[in-house]
Amino acid sequence: MANKISIIKGNCLELMKTLDDESIDLIVTDPPYNLSKDYGNGTDSLTKDEYLDFSYNWLKEAKRLLKPTGTLYVFMGVRYISYIYSILDCDLSLVFNSWITWAYTQGIGKTKGFSPRHDDILMFTKSDEFTFNLDDIRIPQKYYRSVNNMRGANPGNVWEFSHIHYCQTSRQNHPTQKPEALFERMILASSNSGDMVLDPFCGSGTSMRVCQQTNRNGIGMEINPDYIKQINNRLALPFNGFDSIDERMTRIPNDLKDENIRKEYVNNHINWFLKNHPEAKNKFLQSVAEKYSPTLITKHILDN
């Protein structure tokens, strides 16, 4: 059966209250960081106390909505992340799993202090029993070794992705659009096909686009009606692969000396690591040709 994506306009503090207890498998969201970004509604310019109240209130609802096996990922900037961590850990007694750093090379420059070059993502679960599909998010190994798991390595907790630049065709008219590959990794890891995923702060719809293309059901909430229109337009676009990829996905391991193993690996690589990234296939085949031999790029490989 086809998956269903519902985009709902309004204040998530109210909208979340209308959903049933323990009805959501995964909450993955990027709330306002309270850094005075212009989302057309003043929601990013609260006093510190207002922001902490607001954060506690939506996170408490998030906990109520999660199934006992559910997971929550929250993006946050450095200014408030320690407070958000404390709400999740101390006030709501959720189970800490990972602190992920999204590292990027470009951003605003500071003249006094160090220019920020990362945002972070907190991953908490509701209990010790939770979904984690490591095989769906592995990255290619650097070396072929018979002891290495050639299905790939764990991507670790530092994720490097560029911002979506204004010249990219997938760029939306939203000030803090995130790369789809960030959401792809969290959604594939922490939910299964047919699961229900909620994003209470949907923005330009990145999370919902990923749900749509990975066969998850999604509920996206957004307070700004202009963004709602954008999301619906984005969801209607044809899919040609996600708008970003972990650069490590196109590398081929060193030391794949046995020709048969190499051939099998190349085909598997395309199905495993480049499944949602057809645009990266040529770059991968180029790295195969450079590292091994151009003859490896046979019709057989290109056809698979």
What is the C-alpha separation between 239 and 242, in angstroms, rounded?
Answer: 8
As measured in angstroms, the least distance from the Cβ of 47 to ligand SAM is 15
Nearer to ligand SAM, 206 or 250 (CB): 206
Residues contacting residue 243 through CB under 8 Å, at least 6 positions apart: 164, 168, 170, 179, 180, 181
Q: Kindly report the CA angle at 205 between 204 and 211, in degrees rounded to 5?
A: 165
Contact 54, 13 (CB under 8 A): yes
As measured in angstroms, the least distance from the Cβ of 174 to ligand SAM is 5
Nearer to ligand SAM, 141 or 190 (CB): 190
As measured in angstroms, the least distance from the Cβ of 15 to ligand SAM is 7
Phi, psi of 55 (to 5 degrees): -65, -45
What is the C-alpha separation between 273 and 151, in angstroms, rounded?
Answer: 9
Nearer to ligand SAM, 220 or 253 (CB): 220
As measured in angstroms, the least distance from the Cβ of 133 to ligand SAM is 22
Interface residue list for ligand SAM (CB under 6 A): 11-13, 30-32, 39, 41, 43, 174, 176-178, 200-201, 203-204, 206, 221-224, 227
Nearer to ligand SAM, 12 or 122 (CB): 12
Which residue in 134, 154, 152, 135 sits closest to 144, CA to CA? 152
Nearer to ligand SAM, 156 or 175 (CB): 175
Nearer to ligand SAM, 140 or 179 (CB): 179
Tell me the residue nearest to ligand SAM as measured from the CB. 203
As measured in angstroms, the least distance from the Cβ of 54 to ligand SAM is 7
As measured in angstroms, the least distance from the Cβ of 11 to ligand SAM is 4
As measured in angstroms, the least distance from the Cβ of 142 to ligand SAM is 30
Nearer to ligand SAM, 182 or 266 (CB): 182
